[in-house]
């Protein structure tokens, strides 16, 4: 019998990711996306599969390379999905009986998200279009509109004129002068009619139940308002007629409104929103408002309850949280929630009388869609499973597993199950943490083992009961892994998540050191002389901060990090507002404050060997942050190395090129091996 082994970096090529379930109202079939790695092309293949209502058959339903966002028509006779056509992502239609899919839309800049109209005759589609304002002068003439066969050398170089402060975005690059707007597309002819336009972007949107109105989010400056919209993190809720006319604003421009849904009778709208009372650290809550406007009611009576999924993992990128879902009788609203290291499903009374957790436990529920029979299909991950689909009944609380996407090959491996523990910090905070023992750990034979502290990004995110390839890799190589949610993380209430603002490197740093101390005191197999530390984004900032303030770690790997708040302010796609919100100042009036909280200010104190990993196209934490730190350390003669990942954005670890994801994991493990 073959002995099981732990995971390797190269096992990334074997993972299967499932998501985006949608249930047919006609026969109960469940379509979902299956994503796998195409190693030969160093990319991914995403196709749509269909599971029968009884769960007995599960087979491919489409055969494209990048098929996504499946959605059944209201009568269940047609499946819509997205696929590229002539280089642009468009909407395609496929009969429920199968056959050849046909492209429906021919939008010049492709189709984004979409919704079927209630009668199935139309689709509401988001797409980019040229901004109808002077901002269009800032169009990036270097965007990728030219075909792949065009040669750069045959094109004259042209300048890029920029008038917006938010002129770039991580993953999307320089702003192309276009805005996201809504179109109504005829489901038979594909004819598209624009229903919004102007110098603003539409975010979320939804049809009313009778199809006569739409709701959407945007920040639309009013006449005479000279405030730069780019300086505001606001999105209002609007209702308009189905043709875009008679537009009415329901919120007062002091909210950040996200997804929404209409009540079955069309009289109310439930929506996720932040009231911005704690700025960037404000919890997202569930609200209800009349479709005609008026008083806004909060359905999350517990002020410390966070709706949506904010669990950190390295298996999924850009997934977001599903919309709120009304019960068929309109008496309650279902939504995901995040708390205490888990993400689950809760039911909120529409009269505001309270909520009930329906699906909880030590796991990560990351998708939720109704099955049209009072139940749901959910996608769930846990520390030993990257994710599968389940049918769930709120009444009986029964779960039925629909997929086992990674069962066969993961069954060949031994995984490490995290053990949760709680830390009371020196100033009285309660911190949740976990430890993973090395794969194959035998307390009697192991002796002392090297241990690595992992630090999540955000900082307003949360480690939790989900699958982490990176952690499993390190455990397979003989390391214990400790990870925690220090103050500033989500899942433990409003005061907790707000506690790091203005105090980066203060209480959050102490929480992590107290976590390490607690682990050393309670797990006698940890070798105090062989401690490592790593983290990405905010976790990279904290890794940089740690090695500038203590020598207790013998190896460190900083990933997509922040080293200098003064330069971060001007180079990051979020730098100007994030720095002001999180650190408390700007680069010209608060120079000393920003420098005080910059890890590079303490670079002369660094003695820990530090590996610096950074994507060259990271616009969230631009690579100059890594370059500054590397240059300073080399000039000081410290042990360091810089690894640059070409074409990689801030999302490298979750959705980057597979070969670079494997290389990243190998560099982390290799550096720890060298110094621990």
pLDDT in tens, 45-87: 999 999 999 889 999 999 999 999 999 999 999 999 999 999 9
Taking only Cα atoms into account, the Rg of the chain, rounded to an integer number of angstroms, comes to 25
Q: Return d(Cα 355, Cα 299) in angstroms, integer.
A: 8
Task: Tell me if 427 is assigned to some domain.
Answer: yes
pLDDT bracket for residue 222 (50, 70, 90) = confident
CB 659 within 8 A of CB 42: yes
Residue at token pair 């079939």: 29
Active site includes 279? no
Return the pLDDT at 137: 38
Q: How many domains does the chain have?
A: 1
Q: In this structure, what token pair is assigned to residue 616? A: 């060259």
Tell me the three state secondary structure of residue 643. Answer: strand
User: Average pLDDT of 477-485?
Assistant: 98
Q: Return d(Cα 105, Cα 102) in angstroms, integer.
A: 10
Task: Tell me if 625 is assigned to some domain.
Answer: yes
Residue at token pair 């995110």: 461
Return the pLDDT at 138: 37
Helix axes 658-675, 469-476, angle to 10 degrees: 40
- Residues with Cβ within 8 Å of residue 34, at least 6 apart in sequence: 16, 17, 18, 46, 47, 48, 49, 60, 405
Q: 518: domain CATH number?
A: 3.40.50.1820
Residue 132 has pLDDT above 60, yes or no: no
Q: In this structure, what token pair is assigned to residue 89? A: 């992502």
Q: Return d(Cα 155, Cα 401) in angstroms, integer.
A: 55
Task: Tell me if 515 is assigned to some domain.
Answer: yes
pLDDT in tens, 622-670: 999 999 999 999 999 999 999 999 999 999 999 999 999 999 999 999 9
Return the pLDDT at 140: 41
Q: What is the DSSP letter of 523?
A: -
Active site includes 650? yes
Task: Tell me if 408 is assigned to some domain.
Answer: no
Task: Tell me if 210 is assigned to some domain.
Answer: no
Return the pLDDT at 79: 98
Residue 133 has pLDDT above 60, yes or no: no
Q: Return d(Cα 131, Cα 561) in angstroms, integer.
A: 34
pLDDT bracket for residue 153 (50, 70, 90) = low
Q: In this structure, what token pair is assigned to residue 149? A: 């066969």
Q: Could you tell me which of 656, 620, 19 has the C-alpha nearest to residue 309?
A: 19
- Residues with Cβ within 8 Å of residue 452, at least 6 apart in sequence: 474, 479, 480, 481, 482, 531, 532, 533, 534, 672, 676
Q: How far is CA 167 from CA 174, 186, 219, 516, 571, in A?
A: 6, 33, 17, 41, 11
Return the pLDDT at 446: 81
Q: Mean pLDDT of all residues in the chain?
A: 94
CB 463 within 8 A of CB 314: no
pLDDT bracket for residue 224 (50, 70, 90) = confident
Task: Tell me if 384 is assigned to some domain.
Answer: no
Q: Return d(Cα 428, Cα 154) in angstroms, integer.
A: 65
Check 127, 381, 537, 649 and give the catalytic one. Answer: 537
Q: How far is CA 173 from CA 334, 565, 573, 619, 660, in A?
A: 36, 21, 9, 8, 19
Return the pLDDT at 293: 96
Check 490, 650, 657, 667 and give the catalytic one. Answer: 650
H-only helix segments in 48-152? none
Task: Tell me if 14 is assigned to some domain.
Answer: no
Q: Tell me what percent of the chain is helix, strand and coil, each rounded to the nearest 5.
A: 20, 35, 45
Return the pLDDT at 169: 96
Residue 318 has pLDDT above 80, yes or no: no
Q: How many residues does the chain have?
A: 676
Q: What is the DSSP letter of 576?
A: H
Q: Edge-to-edge strand order for the sheet containing 17-23?
A: 17-23, 30-38, 43-51, 58-60
Share of the chain above pLDDT 90, in %: 92
Q: Could you tell me which of 112, 118, 113, 67 has the C-alpha nearest to residue 94?
A: 67
Return the pLDDT at 319: 66
Residue 445 has pLDDT above 90, yes or no: no
Residue 592 has pLDDT above 60, yes or no: yes
Structural domain of residue 439, as residue ranges?
414-563+598-675
pLDDT in tens, 603-622: 999 999 999 999 999 999 99
Tell me the three state secondary structure of residue 582. Answer: helix
pLDDT in tens, 532-562: 999 999 999 999 999 999 999 999 999 999 9
Q: What is the DSSP letter of 170?
A: T
CB 558 within 8 A of CB 475: no
pLDDT in tens, 188-206: 999 999 999 999 999 999 9
Task: Tell me if 482 is assigned to some domain.
Answer: yes
pLDDT in tens, 93-131: 999 999 999 999 999 999 999 999 999 999 999 999 986
Residue at token pair 């988001």: 126
Please give the distance of CA 362 from its chain centroid, rounded to a whole number: 20
User: Average pLDDT of 281-293?
Assistant: 97
Residue at token pair 């002389």: 529
- 178's enclosing H/E stretch is strand 178-186
User: Average pLDDT of 477-500?
Assistant: 98
Return the pLDDT at 143: 44
């Amino acid at each position: 019998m073959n002995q099981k082994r732990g995971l390797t970096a190269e096992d990334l090529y074997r993972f299967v990711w499932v998501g985006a379930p949608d249930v047919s109202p006609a026969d109960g079939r469940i379509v979902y996306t299956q994503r796998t790695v195409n190693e030969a092309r160093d990319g991914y293949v995403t196709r749509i599969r269909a599971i029968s209502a009884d769960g007995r058959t599960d087979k491919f339903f489409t055969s494209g390379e990048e098929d996504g966002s499946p959605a059944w028509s209201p009568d269940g006779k047609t499946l819509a999905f997205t696929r590229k056509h002539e280089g642009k992502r468009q909407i395609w239609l496929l009969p429920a009986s199968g056959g050849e899919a046909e492209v429906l839309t021919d939008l010049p800049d492709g189709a984004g998200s979409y919704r079927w109209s209630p009668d199935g005759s139309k689709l509401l589609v988001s797409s980019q279009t040229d901004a109808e304002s002077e901002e269009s002068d800032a169009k990036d003439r270097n965007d990728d509109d030219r075909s792949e066969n065009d040669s750069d050398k045959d094109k004259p170089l042209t300048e890029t004129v920029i008038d917006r402060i938010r002129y770039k975005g991580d993953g999307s690059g320089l702003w192309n002068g276009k805005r996201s707007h809504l179109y109504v597309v005829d489901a038979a002819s594909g004819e598209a009619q624009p229903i919004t336009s102007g110098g603003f972007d539409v975010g979320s949107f939804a049809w009313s139940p009778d199809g006569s109105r739409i709701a959407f989010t945007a920040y639309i400056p009013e006449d005479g308002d000279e405030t730069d919209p780019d300086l505001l993190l606001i999105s209002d809720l609007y209702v308009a007629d189905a043709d875009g006319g008679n537009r009415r604003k329901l919120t007062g421009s002091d909210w950040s409104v996200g997804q929404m849904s209409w009540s079955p009778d069309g009289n109310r709208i439930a929506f996720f929103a932040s009231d911005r009372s704690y700025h960037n650290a404000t919890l997202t809550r569930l609200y209800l408002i009349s479709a005609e406007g008026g008083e806004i009611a909060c359905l999350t009576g517990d002020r410390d309850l966070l709706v949506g999924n904010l669990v950190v993992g390295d298996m999924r990128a850009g997934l977001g949280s599903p919309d709120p879902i009304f019960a068929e009788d309109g008496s309650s609203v279902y939504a995901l929630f995040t708390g205490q290291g888990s993400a689950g499903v809760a039911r909120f009374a529409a009269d505001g009388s309270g909520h009930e957790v329906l699906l909880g436990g030590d796991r990560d529920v990351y998708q939720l869609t109704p099955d049209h029979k009072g139940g749901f299909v959910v996608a769930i991950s846990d520390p030993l499973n990257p994710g599968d689909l389940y049918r769930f009944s709120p009444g009986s609380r029964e779960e039925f597993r629909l997929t086992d996407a990674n069962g066969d090959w993961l069954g060949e491996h031994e995984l490490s199950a995290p053990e949760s523990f709680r830390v009371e910090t020196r100033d009285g905070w309660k911190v949740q943490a976990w430890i993973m023992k090395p794969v194959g750990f035998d307390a009697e034979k192991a002796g002392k083992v090297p241990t690595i502290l992992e630090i999540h990004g955000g900082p307003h995110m949360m480690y939790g009961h989900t699958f982490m390839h990176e952690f499993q890799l390190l455990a397979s190589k003989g390391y214990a892994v400790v990870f925690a949610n220090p103050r500033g993380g989500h899942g433990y209430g409003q005061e907790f998540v707000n506690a790091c603002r203005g105090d980066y490197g203060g209480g959050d740093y102490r929480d992590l050191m107290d976590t390490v101390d607690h682990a050393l005191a309670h797990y006698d197999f940890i070798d105090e002389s062989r401690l490592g530390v790593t983290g990405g984004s905010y976790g990279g900032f904290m890794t940089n901060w740690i090695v500038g303030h203590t020598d207790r770690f013998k190896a460190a790997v900083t990933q997509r990090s922040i080293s200098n708040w003064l330069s971060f302010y001007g180079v990051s796609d979020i730098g100007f507002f994030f720095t002001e919100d999180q650190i408390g100042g700007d680069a010209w009036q608060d120079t000393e404050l920003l420098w005080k909280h910059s890890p590079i200010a303490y670079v002369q104190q660094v003695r820990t060997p530090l590996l610096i990993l950074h994507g060259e196209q990271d616009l969230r934490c631009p690579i100059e942050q890594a370059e500054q730190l590397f240059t300073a350390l080399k000039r000081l003669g410290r042990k360091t190395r810089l690894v640059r990942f070409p074409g990689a954005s801030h999302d490298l670890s979750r959705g980057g090129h597979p070969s670079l994801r494997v290389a990243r994991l190998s560099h982390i493990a290799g550096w720890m091996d060298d110094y621990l």
